[in-house]
Amino acid sequence: MNKIIIALSLLAVVLQACAQNPENKEKPEIKKIKLPEVQKSFALNDYLAENADLDKEVDAIFKSLDDTAIVAQLIMPAIGRLGQTEATIKSHIKQRIIGGVLMLNGTKKEFTDWISLFNNMNDTIQNVPFLYSADAEPSLVNRKIIGSRPVKKANEMKTIDEVRAYTDTISKDLNEIGINYNFSPVVDMSPNKTVGFRSFGAVPANIIPWSNAFIEQTQKHNIIATAKHFPGHGLVSGDTHKSLQVIDGELKEISNYPKLIADGVLSVMVAHIAVKNNPKYDTKGLPSTTSSVIVTDLLRNEYGFKGLIVTDAMNMGGVTAIPNCEVKAVEAGCDIVLMPVDAKKAHTEILKKYRSDAAFKAKVDASAKRVIRMKLCVGAMK
């Protein structure tokens, strides 16, 4: 009996000590990886070129990652008004489940401070550095980034020289903030009310040369440019933020892309737009973002695009009704899943399929390597 009393007394002391010292509670360990040192520096124009040294660096970094970090390369949530909180993004970084962040609706100082904070966190726990993106289109940038230098809206510009000058202005702001990925230019036709004023389509003949000028100037500033919204948003009537829109028949706007791809645009954004009554490119009721017919067969294979394919925001009405939409986007061939409703859930679902499906794993690995390659070429990894 005495032994039992003594044992109970000791247990009570231990429990009391734990209650008084909550730091003694077991905390989930943040697993660290050891990134290899990058041996050489690269530039954006190295991305599309044959480069054995770059291939070697990509492979070395990729092989240092576990599957959690590999899947993370494909996931990019947003921070700012209409995005996630700072606390949420910090939690994602600690859990190693994201590979970049979209700066969405905030001030130039807020974005600069956040990027500095996230870079320091990644350095501390040896995360792969991030791609930092923005919707810094001429028509939106002064609203999306408060405190940015004033520029004309895309549909108000009068000459290609103006396009180049205002692109330089936008790019200087992005360089100062630390943003290395611009989801611009919009290369859609002008009729659609939600995207028309954001493109150079007021004069249809200007779309390709002026978009090319924007892309060239952006990438000269060491910022990834993005042609959007593939396969074309300008000739549909509705708003993909609210619901799935449909191209009925011919893809009239895809002719805007081959020249931009041939001239070196490094990223293309795919829209939440279905295609019907088109024997070759019918998406079977799915948005293009989740259709391999559009992402892989058309953009990747037929057009030979080798850069990053990013989804439009995955919290938009045009895609949220699709079950496991983030998994389906990756399966379709997208490299970056932008603004998932729940980044943790998206990571968990993609990782689960990654671990059980060899074909899916191969797609994720290829996408992760493309993202890592871009991070090296943009100088995120030095």
pLDDT of 266 reads: 98
> If pLDDT is split at 50, 70 and 90, which confidence band does 2 have?
very low
Place of tokens 């439009």: 312
pLDDT(19) > 80: no
State the Cα–Cα distance between residues 280 and 297, nearest whole angstrom: 10
* pLDDT at residue number 195: 67
Residue ranges with strand state E in the chain:
75-76, 78-79, 100-103, 106-107, 131-134, 145-146, 181-182, 224-230, 245-248, 267-270, 273-276, 308-311, 337-338
Q: Tell me the pTM.
A: 0.90
Is residue 10's pLDDT more than 90? no
Nearest CA among 274, 273, 185 for reference residue 228: 185
User: What is the arithmetic mean of pLDDT over 318-324?
Assistant: 89
312 classed as catalytic: yes
For the chain, give every domain's residue range.
35-377
**What does pLDDT average to over the chain?**
90
Please report the DSSP string for 11-48 in residue order.
HHHHHHHHHH-GGGS---------PPPP-S---GGGTT
Closest among 219, 107, 210 to 152, alpha carbons compared: 210
Q: Residue 235: which pLDDT band, with cuts at 50, 70 and 90?
A: low
Share of the chain above pLDDT 90, in %: 80
Instruction: Please report which confidence band the pLDDT of residue 192 belongs to, taking 50, 70 and 90 as the band edges.
Output: low
% pLDDT > 70, the chain:
87
HSE-CB at 380 with a 13 A cutoff on CA atoms is 30
User: What pLDDT score was predicted for residue 54?
Assistant: 98
Q: Which two tokens stand for residue 139?
A: 């028509």
Q: How far apart are CA 113 and CA 100, in angstroms?
A: 15
At 190 the pLDDT is: 66
Per-residue pLDDT, averaged over 131-148, amounts to 97
| Range in 104-113, 245-254, 255-264 with the lowest mean pLDDT | 245-254
Give me the catalytic one of 135, 173, 188, 312: 312
So what's the pLDDT on residue 8? 42
pLDDT at 245: 82
229 given a catalytic annotation: no
What class, spelled out in words, does domain 35-377 have in CATH? alpha beta
Residues 30-71 pLDDT 10s: 567 789 999 999 999 999 999 999 999 999 999 999 999 999
Query: Per-residue pLDDT for 364 more than 70?
Result: yes
Please identify which of the residues 46, 239, 241, 342 carries the catalytic annotation.
241
- At 145-183, the pLDDT tens digits run 999 999 999 999 999 999 999 999 999 999 999 999 999
